[in-house]
Structure 1
Amino acid sequence: MPLRPRFDAMLFDCDGVLVDSEPIVNQVLRDEVAAFGWEMSIEQCIQTFVGASLEGVQARVEQHTGRSVGQGWVDEFTRRRDAALREQLQLIPGAAELVAAADEAFEGRIACASNSERAKVELQLEKTGLLAHFTGKIFSAAETGPAKPSPAVYLAAAESMGPAAQRPLVLEDSPSGVRAGKAANAYVVALAATVNPEALVGAGADVVVDSLSEVRDLIG
């Protein structure tokens, strides 16, 4: 008989954790912000905006450039971003296996909690074949309250599972996401794919891993 998992629920971030969306999104974003005179590489763009909500991106661009970013810009960026994701998006290696294992180990007590808007999360999970695992279990900070590093989206996800989810395991890849998970009283594993491991440790990550295969051992 298998041992009971150390945790009783698992909450996943989406971008950079389940799907390899950061290079795709930031290629589009780099081109869009260049129109405002803000030149940067894709790597610089990722480091600047990793973990940010769409509203956070807009605010950061306005702050840096001193120019107002209207709804038309947001709509065009979203259109180009989503088109690129539909064409290019792939899973993070090991994501499908980890989600399936977590879904079984925690008897369905898994959720995807993201700063991204719901439509983007659903697009990405459907494109990569993960949506069936997260039907009715997607939480967006655009709906739950302040974006990460606020814990609101993780608290909403955990509360939706009731008292059975008292010891959640959170999987993140950004300092703001790590802080959100810790503020929600979760054990946070950080995937060091796009951010320096020291920054993730500094944000409070309990464990930093280089691949999702390392996470599998934590869920029993």
Structure 2
Amino acid sequence: MQASASKKGKGDYRMAFEAILFDCDGVLVDSEKIYVSVEREHLARIGLDYEIDEYMDRFQGLGSDDFWAELDRDHRSLGKGPLPESFGSELDAATMERIDRELSEIAGIKQFLDIHEGPRAVASSSRLQRLIHKLQHTGLYAYFEPHIYSGEQVANGKPAPDLFLHAASRLGVDAATALVIEDSANGVKAGLAAGMTVWGFVGGGHSHQGHTEQLLEAGAHKVVDSHDDLAGLLFNSKKPN
């Protein structure tokens, strides 16, 4: 089932979906602002300076292997050779320190999940153990377990459709009846490639000017700005308390 393209905004939008597939970072947990801050800071130290719009457009939602390959290619293009051997471990350590200190769930998600009935899954580009850690840290793990899927578990990461198709298969639902909630252009493209309805989400702390337009340009059928907004569209306009 496909929705027609729509501008951001609230309205009477009645649709039934067999399952909801959520991206994690920036949709369930407010981690993208941490990742972007730490990554851009560390990359600048090795000469890779990206404007925020370019960074979000190129890298947000990208599978881990593709992310590192792109950074390595950029570093080599500067005549600096491959990324420094210690870069990945240093970035990981700095990121996890910030996550353990600052990470919280996106406002309204627990109230939404308390209302939602039916199959649902997490489908994230994050490495599986880190994905589980973030969900446990924010108290969201029990809402999804065992349907928590990582890009590590499929051959091709987002923007390829593999991860969303894998999640739908494990849930036992037809891809065409699934709704994807995504905050990145790469994630939107992955959901569309899987033949699913995709709604963009711009309620995370990392959302920036042009984010809505970026998701619509990637093909999102609709963009919502909060989990209250999402609940209003899916649950007869009744929002969580």
Distance 2:75 2:149 in 1: 31
Q: Which residue does the alignment assign to 1:124?
A: 134
Please tell me whether residue 145 in structure 1 is matched to residue 140 in structure 2. Answer: no
Q: Which residue does the alignment assign to 2:96?
A: 82
- Given that 1:174 and 1:190 are in contact with CA atoms closer than 8 Å, whether structure 2 keeps it comes out as yes
Distance 1:164 1:177 in 2: 19
Deviation at 1:41, TM superposition (A): 6.0
Deviation at 1:52, TM superposition (A): 2.1
Please tell me whether residue 63 in structure 1 is matched to residue 73 in structure 2. Answer: yes
Unaligned runs of 5+ in 2: 1-13, 236-241
RMSD: 2.2
Q: Which residue does the alignment assign to 2:197?
A: 187
Q: Which amino acid aligns with 2:228?
A: S
Unaligned runs of 5+ in 1: none
* Cα distance per residue 1:87-107 (max 9 Å; x no partner): 1011111111222322xx21x
Mean CA deviation greater in 190-199 or 170-179: 190-199
- Given that 1:22 and 1:46 are in contact with CA atoms closer than 8 Å, whether structure 2 keeps it comes out as no
Q: Which residue does the alignment assign to 2:17?
A: 7
* Cα distance per residue 1:72-125 (max 9 Å; x no partner): 3222211221121011011111111222322xx21xx11000111111211111
Distance 1:165 1:40 in 2: 36
- Given that 1:171 and 1:189 are in contact with CA atoms closer than 8 Å, whether structure 2 keeps it comes out as yes
1:81-100 mapped onto 2 (5 Å cutoff): 81-100=95-114
Deviation at 1:57, TM superposition (A): 2.6
Q: Which amino acid aligns with 1:76?
A: E
Residues 52/12 of structure 1: CA separation in 2 closer, same or farther (3 Å cut):
same
In the alignment of these two chains, the number of paired residues is 213
Which structure would you say has the larger RCO, counting Cα contacts within 8 Å and 6 or more residues apart?
2
SS of the equivalent of 2:83 reads coil
Deviation at 1:207, TM superposition (A): 0.8
Deviation at 1:51, TM superposition (A): 1.2
Deviation at 1:192, TM superposition (A): 2.6
* Cα distance per residue 1:3-35 (max 9 Å; x no partner): x97011110000111111111112211222122
- Given that 2:175 and 2:195 are in contact with CA atoms closer than 8 Å, whether structure 1 keeps it comes out as no
Q: Which residue does the alignment assign to 2:115?
A: 101
Q: Which residue does the alignment assign to 1:214?
A: 229
- Given that 1:8 and 1:166 are in contact with CA atoms closer than 8 Å, whether structure 2 keeps it comes out as no
Distance 1:217 1:120 in 2: 31
Distance 2:189 2:51 in 1: 26
Deviation at 1:153, TM superposition (A): 0.4
TM-score w.r.t. the length of structure 1 is 0.87
Q: Percent sequence identity over matched residues?
A: 33
Structure with the higher fraction of residues in helix conformation: 1
SS of the equivalent of 1:91 reads coil
Pick from 41, 49, 57 the counterpart of residue 59 of structure 2: 49
- Given that 2:176 and 2:197 are in contact with CA atoms closer than 8 Å, whether structure 1 keeps it comes out as no
Pick from 197, 204, 207 the counterpart of residue 219 of structure 2: 204
Residues 126/160 of structure 1: CA separation in 2 closer, same or farther (3 Å cut):
same
